[in-house]
Structure 1
Amino acid sequence: MKKVLWLFLAALFLVGCGSGEEKKVQDLEFTVVPERQVPEELAKVIQEKKGEAFQLTYSEPQQMYLVVGYGRQDCGGYSIQVKECYLTETSLVLDTELTGPKETAASGEEPSYPYIVLKTEARDEPVIFR
């Protein structure tokens, strides 16, 4: 009986610790930065990378920018939703999602390069993009 109990407890421990995900400590406040307010140096990097999907951070003394780009899309009308932006005990997590154009919307025939820039206070934690 003791052996079964220990196996059960060991299995319970592995399930609880094996996910590799840390728990949210707090939501992180952020601002979505309009294209015209993106720092010039960061805007150049975005232009260089926008053809492919990318994720990057850019830091200044008092603030940090989190950028997620979804690469070239065949048309316009896409939007990016911030699903979560939060702190764990050891990292900052940003989860975004690209949503396609609505069928009724005029999305044009020109390709687009959707990306989002978030600004938050400067932090030292590593960033995990999802």
Structure 2
Amino acid sequence: MACLCCGCGITNVEEGERKAVEYTVLKTDAIPPEVAEVIKAQGDAEFQMTYKSDGFLYILRGYGKQKSGGYSIQVEEVTATDGALHVKTRLLGPETKEEQKGDGSVPYLVIKTEDLELPVVFE
């Protein structure tokens, strides 16, 4: 059984020591079909959400429609405190004019980690 949880709320958590969390950024062909459907349903909109399934937490982050191709997303931090899992990503623009071609893109990524049963805070 899987459940979809939106990660867009404000969560008050105590700031404690942040500990690195092991994670994997999934390639498109490794994204579970049910997660791919959730992403597809977002269309061109920006999104931040989580999906839990079989003891894993999938963290979904999309930056919405961009004017060209060549964008990527960098994971800057995935850490845990006693009260929350913190996720920080950054959108990187195209570096060359060659990468700026095309009708646009909708960059997103999926991070897979063990479900620590903590609320997720997108930073």
How many aligned positions are there? 111
Who is 2:17 aligned against? 24
Which is helix-richer, 1 or 2? Answer: 1
Q: What is the Cα-based RMSD across aligned positions, in Å?
A: 1.5
Alignment of 1:33-52 (within 5 A): 33-52=26-45
* Counterpart position of 1:106: 99
User: SS of the counterpart of 1:73?
Assistant: coil
**Residue equivalent to 2:3:** none
Q: Aligned partners of 2:66, 2:25: CA distance in 1, in Å?
A: 21
Which amino acid is 1:120 matched to?
A: T
Structure 2: stretches of 5+ with no match in the other structure: 1-12
Structure 1 unaligned blocks of 5 or more: 1-19
Percent identity between the aligned chains? Answer: 39
- State whether residues 53 and 69 of structure 1, in contact with CA within 8 Å, keep that contact through their aligned partners in structure 2: yes
1:58 corresponds to 2:65: no
Greater relative contact order structure (CA < 8 Å, 6+ sep): 2
Moved more, 102-111 or 79-88: 102-111
Query: Which is greater in Rg?
Result: 1
Higher strand content, 1 or 2: 2
Q: Give the aligned partner of residue 87 of structure 1.
A: 80
Separation in 2 of the partners of 1:95 and 1:105? 28
Conserved 8 A contact 1:79-1:99: yes
TM-score, normalised with respect to structure 1:
0.79
Tell me if structure 2 keeps the 8 A contact 1:24–1:86: no
Q: Which aligned segments of 4 or more residues in structure 1 are displaced greater than 3 angstroms?
A: none
